[in-house]
Structure 1
Amino acid sequence: MRIVTDFRDQPPFEILAPAEQRLPFVFNSPHSGCCYPQDFLDASRLDRLAIRRSEDAFVDALFAGVVPMGAPLLRVLFPRAFLDVNREPYELDPKMFTGRLPAYANTRSLRVAGGLGTIARVVSESQEIYAQRLTVEEGLERIETLYKPYHNTLRRLLAQTHVRFGYAVLIDCHSMPSSVRCQTTGTRPDFILGDRYGTSCPVELSDLAATLLKSRGYTVSRNKPYAGGFITEHYGRPAKGLHALQLEINRGLYMDEVRHEPLPGFAALAEDLMAVLTDLTAMPDAPLVPLGLAAE
């Protein structure tokens, strides 16, 4: 954890960019941010370990090797508990705020009901974050100054990649608690691939990712219990040559979830990931190119 004053004098997110982009892939780590504003910590009822339980800790470091491979990595620096960019822009719980939310706010989504809207009410295990209500103005300011600039940046990265290569593939990088079980088998998978049940990218991409991970001895689940969040759903447009695949990693593979520290196996997992991604990014173009372009 790094404690900051706010995000006016330092960037809330950053692009780790290669000297030259050689791959039509963009990697994104929206939940690994560990820069916590002091005011946010002061307003929380949680201690500094508990508040980090929804953080995808170290995921940006696990994927850092894609940059020398020739792909950009966008990483968010503020924590998910402060603002979640993997939600609609205005998924907000009216019970969290003093004052009235704007009429366009989505106050009835399942994620809001679970306390995990754009501005979360809880961290994992349903632990309440705030000691008292926020003002509506404070919530909307986070969305205007952090959420919207982040999505503008991600959208620009994907558009530039699409123009350069004729298509773009977004790999959305996440982690999950080691307690997560597959709903159909009851097992605890090492990886979960989310492609919105085949709607956010071609099945060939998901199939290859699963095959490559399994070939290294990992267990893989598809879409259960995580099919992909707002980012995967919003940016995955295969008919337009825009593909999105969410990759969830079991935190038990690489970190001590209580002490919030990397395990000795961290480096080996990162090495395996880069080997898998080297082969994944080398897959044939044909399934990824829109049909209109492929026919020209």
Structure 2
Amino acid sequence: MHPVTVTRGDSPLVLAFPHTGTHVPDPIRDRLNDEGRLLRDTDWHIDALYRDLLPGVTAVKANFHRYVIDANRDPAGVSLYPGQTTTGLVPETTFDNAPIWREGCAPDEDDIARRLAEWHAPYHAALSAEMERVRAIHGVAILYDCHSIRSVIPWLFDGTLPDFNVGTNGGKTCAPAIEAAVVERCAASGRSNVLNGRFRGGWTTRHYGRPAEGMHAIQMELAQSSHLASEEPPFGLDPETAADLRATLAPVLQSLVDLAPTLA
């Protein structure tokens, strides 16, 4: 299994999918416990939600699961949210703080180093290359980082997550117009939404978001209740709610394409 799949387009927009992959190599799967093998913390069906919403969009998808290594974490292992509970570069638990590895099978430093080289690094090499290619064409590249998460996870946050969770690390990772356009369209949908709430943008958004260099990045974390039939196994997509959600996501993406010429 190749670590990454790239679908190349000619628009200024690049979609990143770091958490939709479900591939776990057999030697790693054998070390997971029953809970780990459920792959509960996958961003289920996110690639399907965004598929064919706009023509010409580049997509970069990690094919490996986040339990192999998390493509949206700092390769140095630095926490995204110091002082808050979160999972690491190679998670030891689910988002409910339940162990995912069999006794004595959690990865050590050598395991993590190998996984960085074999999985994490190729994904980001591909994503970086596509951002550079798109910027060379348009003078600007806009990264839209696609995520989802269960709507109720007490270990990570209180209450119920809004449908749309927009992250720009406090406005640092993109031009103000990009942030405003996404928030405006989310609000117009009538769905619950928040800007830079519990999820302010992961390592991908923070690493690639360099507005002064023509590199803009924004993260969209969708509550899975907005499009799944159930947030428990088998995590099936609900066709009706997914179609309604796609009707909002399409103009969100279009607004970013429309803004690009003004940012170059």
TM-score in terms of structure 1 length: 0.80
| Alignment correspondent of 1:285 | 261
Three-state SS of the structure 2 residue aligned to 1:121 is coil
Structure 2: 5+ residue runs without aligned partners? none
Structure 1 segments (4+ residues) deviating >6 Å:
none
* One of 271, 274, 277 as aligned partner of 2:250: 274
Check if 1:257 corresponds to 2:231.
Answer: yes
Question: Distance between the aligned counterparts of 2:252 and 2:212, measured in 1?
Answer: 26
What amino acid maps onto 1:127 in structure 2? A
What amino acid maps onto 2:41 in structure 1? S
Q: Structure 2 vs 1, CA of residues 171 and 115 (structure 1 numbering), >3 Å: closer, same or farther?
A: closer
Three-state SS of the structure 1 residue aligned to 2:30 is helix
Residues 199-218 of structure 1 correspond to what in structure 2 (within 5 A)? Answer: 199-218=172-191
Point out the structure with max Rg over C-alpha: 1
Question: Distance between the aligned counterparts of 2:80 and 2:45, measured in 1?
Answer: 29
Shift of 1:145: 1.1
Partner deviation per Cα, 1:133-171 (whole Å, 9 max, x = no partner):
334332211111111111111111001111110011100
Question: Distance between the aligned counterparts of 1:187 and 1:122, measured in 2?
Answer: 21
Partner deviation per Cα, 1:169-199 (whole Å, 9 max, x = no partner):
1000101211269x9x966411011001011
Q: Structure 2 vs 1, CA of residues 273 and 205 (structure 1 numbering), >3 Å: closer, same or farther?
A: same
Question: Distance between the aligned counterparts of 1:116 and 1:164, measured in 2?
Answer: 37
Partner deviation per Cα, 1:45-84 (whole Å, 9 max, x = no partner):
23466x4222111111111124x51111111111112110
Q: Is the 8 A contact 1:15 1:72 kept in 2?
A: yes
| Alignment correspondent of 2:15 | 27
Question: Distance between the aligned counterparts of 1:125 and 1:284, measured in 2?
Answer: 39
Q: Structure 2 vs 1, CA of residues 111 and 257 (structure 1 numbering), >3 Å: closer, same or farther?
A: farther
Q: Structure 2 vs 1, CA of residues 112 and 141 (structure 1 numbering), >3 Å: closer, same or farther?
A: farther
| Alignment correspondent of 1:138 | 111
Three-state SS of the structure 2 residue aligned to 1:123 is coil
Q: Which structure dedicates a bigger proportion of its chain to strand? A: 1
* One of 82, 85, 91 as aligned partner of 2:68: 82
Question: Distance between the aligned counterparts of 1:279 and 1:193, measured in 2?
Answer: 15
| Alignment correspondent of 2:8 | 17
Question: Distance between the aligned counterparts of 2:36 and 2:98, measured in 1?
Answer: 13
Residues 1-296 of structure 1 correspond to what in structure 2 (within 5 A)? Answer: 10-18=1-9, 21=10, 23-47=11-35, 51-66=38-53, 69-91=55-77, 114=85, 116-131=87-102, 132=104, 133-179=106-152, 188-255=161-228, 256-259=230-233, 260-264=235-239, 265-283=241-259, 285-286=261-262, 288-289=263-264
What amino acid maps onto 1:148 in structure 2? A
Structure 1: 5+ residue runs without aligned partners? 1-9, 92-105, 290-296
Q: Structure 2 vs 1, CA of residues 42 and 274 (structure 1 numbering), >3 Å: closer, same or farther?
A: same
Question: Distance between the aligned counterparts of 2:126 and 2:223, measured in 1?
Answer: 28
